[in-house]
Amino acid sequence: QCAVMRKYLTGIWACMQTQTAFDSTLLFSEQHIKN
């Protein structure tokens, strides 16, 4: 659970820095699921 929370927080922080919309599909792409 902590790893997932950290991943979401990192993604949200990156979206805030680049001023883009949050998209959870980028966090859990096919490449990450296979590894």
Segment 13-35, tens digit of pLDDT = 888 888 888 887 777 766 555 54
Answer yes or no: are the C-beta atoms of 24 and 11 closer than 8 Å.
yes
- pLDDT category of residue 10 using cuts at 50, 70 and 90: confident
Rg (CA), the chain: 10
Which helix (H) or strand (E) segment is 31 a member of?
helix 30-34
Residues 6+ apart with CB under 8 A from 12: 22
Q: What is the pLDDT of residue 32?
A: 53
Q: What is the pLDDT of residue 34?
A: 56
Tell me: pLDDT of 6 over 80.
yes
Q: pTM value?
A: 0.60
Which helix (H) or strand (E) segment is 5 a member of?
helix 2-18
Q: CA–CA separation, 23 vs 1, rounded Å?
A: 19
Tell me: pLDDT of 5 over 60.
yes
